[in-house]
Amino acid sequence: MTWKKIPMALRIAAVVVVALVAARVYVLRRPVEVEVARLETDVDVRVFGLGTQEARIASRLGFEAAGQLVALAADHGDRVKAGAILARLDDGEARARLDKSVAGVAAAEAALAKAEALAQRAVVVADQKRRVDDRRKSLVERQAVSIETAEVAELDAKVAAADSGVATRDVEVARVNLAAARAQATLDRVLVDRMRLVAPFDGVVTGRLRELGAVVNPGEALFSLVDPASVWIQAFVDESRAGDLAEGQPAIVRLRSRVGETFRGRVARVGLENDRVGEERRVWVACLSCPPDFHLGEQAEVEVTTHRIPTALLAPETVLRMTAPAEAMGWVVVDGRLAEARLRLGAHLLDGRVEIVDGVPAGGALVVSRDAGAFRDGRGAHVVGAPEARP
């Protein structure tokens, strides 16, 4: 079939196809304009964490004894000093027991004094009886007194010595009784002290859970107390980016209630146990310039600077085709033509760029930083701008 015999519609379609193919060949042969990565200096490498405002020193305070609340000296938002009385229970019965114990101590002290006096008397009597016995024995030898009289004196001396020993033991018993009385008084004083609730540290009352007249049980929480100096941010960082986290690193803190504001912070603690479900590492950041008023549980963001790179070649991660955690395929320009290269990656930045540490072909090759599409090996490329040399 000759060209003239082909229907007009088919001839037009054939011309269009030829024109499209020619146009595509022309486009593919025409150099494509590309942007390439440039060297940057003093690059901050940061990791991002999302968390909440918490307190390292926080306690829920309650009485160790049961009783009725008769006094409350603190409320929500109050600042209290360590040792300040926050609340008191009815302590009438406890004080009565303490008064009885104090009287018992006085009685035991008097009994000890009496026992010591009797012991001294017994010692004196025993000494006098011993001297009489010695004289009677010497008189018996000279036959001045009878043997019976000497035996009576000897017996009296032995009885007096025994009485002295008993008196000494009575003193020991009295001392033990005094120690027991003092211990009981100390215990009763402790029980009286338990009727008062005191602040264990300087802090801010963040909650009061009961009111006057309520009957509380031992261990039941009455106040929640927080040390404002211990308020920090507990955040969670993706464990794939958390390898360089360390205590003391500088950080930026953003609070949800303070839109547009940033605060200085530093890493105070890095968790030793990761969240197994979320695959995240806990990090605690102390805020150095946050407002004095705090709100526990408020959402916060942290950016921790883990290290700085003196000089880095950076490219957007979106133009790379990841093949491994630290490896990707990317386009490079070599002698004015495109080629794919296997690149080794370093630090990942929060703005989506990644450091290229190796894999760029030798000879002045440049890494493409924006994918313009229609890339293929060997196609000509025109670099837009004046790129710096690769490292």
> Among the listed ranges 23-32, 175-184, 198-207, 354-363, which one has the minimum average pLDDT value?
23-32
Q: Give the model's confidence band at 131: pLDDT under 50 very low, under 70 low, under 90 confident, else very high.
A: confident
Distance CA 69, CA 53 (A): 32
| 3-class DSSP state of 248 | coil
Residue 355 pLDDT class (50, 70, 90 cuts): very high
Q: Provide the 10 A C-beta neighbour count for residue 65.
A: 17
The three-class DSSP label of residue 20 is: helix
Question: What percentage of the chain reaches a pLDDT higher than 90?
Answer: 51
> At 261, is the pLDDT very low, low, confident or very high (cuts 50, 70, 90)?
very high
H-only helix segments in 5-55: 8-29
User: Both tokens of residue 106?
Assistant: 């006085």
Q: 346, 357 in Cβ contact below 8 A? A: yes
Residue 23, pLDDT score: 43
Mean pLDDT value across the chain = 84
| CB-CB neighbours of 336 under 10 Å | 11
pLDDT tens sequence across 49-90: 999 999 999 999 999 999 999 999 999 999 999 999 999 999
**pLDDT value for 25:** 47
Three-state SS for 55? strand
* Average pLDDT score over residue span 279-305: 94
Spatial strand order in the sheet of 79-80: 58-62, 221-226, 203-208, 79-80
Q: At what angle do helices 147-193 and 92-141 cross, to 10 degrees?
A: 170
Q: What's the pLDDT band for 26 if we cut at 50, 70, 90?
A: very low
The answer to whether 329 and 342 have CB atoms below 8 angstroms apart is yes
**Separation between Cα atoms, residue 245 and residue 306, nearest integer Å:** 6
**Overall average pLDDT of the 109-129 stretch:** 82
Amino acid (1-letter code) at residue 169: R
> Does residue 233 contact residue 285 with C-beta atoms inside 8 Å?
yes
**Beta bridge partners of residue 62, listed in sequence order:** 221
Q: How far apart are CA 64 and CA 87, in angstroms?
A: 12
Residue 227 corresponds to which tokens in the numbers above?
Answer: 């040390």
* Chain segment 135-170, per-residue pLDDT in tens: 666 666 666 656 666 566 667 667 767 777 887 888
What pLDDT band is residue 11 in, cutting at 50, 70 and 90? low
d(CA 124, CA 16): 142
Please determine, for residue 339, whether its predicted confidence score (pLDDT) is greater than 80.
yes
Strand partners, 48: 303
Q: Is the C-alpha dihedral spanning 359, 365, 366, 370 positive or negative?
A: negative
Strands 381-383 and 32-34: parallel
307-316, 366-375, 379-388: which has the minimum mean pLDDT? 379-388
Please count the residues of the chain.
391
| pLDDT classification of 390: cutoffs 50, 70, 90 | very low
Question: Binning pLDDT at 50, 70 and 90, where does residue 389 land?
Answer: very low
Q: Please state, in angstroms and rounded to a whole number, the distance separating the CA atoms of residues 75 and 206.
A: 8
CA distance 333 to 380: 9
Cα–Cα distance between 101 and 7 in angstroms, integer?
Answer: 125
Question: Hey, how many other C-beta atoms are within 10 angstroms of the C-beta on 111?
Answer: 18
pLDDT above 60 for 370:
yes
User: Per-residue pLDDT for 20 more than 80?
Assistant: no
Q: Is the pLDDT of residue 379 over 90?
A: no
In the DSSP assignment, the letter for residue 250 is E
The pLDDT of residue 28 is above 60: no
Distance CA 320, CA 389 (A): 20
Residue-level pLDDT at 233: 96
Phi/psi at 210 (5° precision) = -135, 165
Residues 266-281: tens digit of each pLDDT: 999 999 999 888 899 9
Question: Each residue of 230-254: pLDDT tens digit?
Answer: 999 999 999 988 989 999 999 999 9
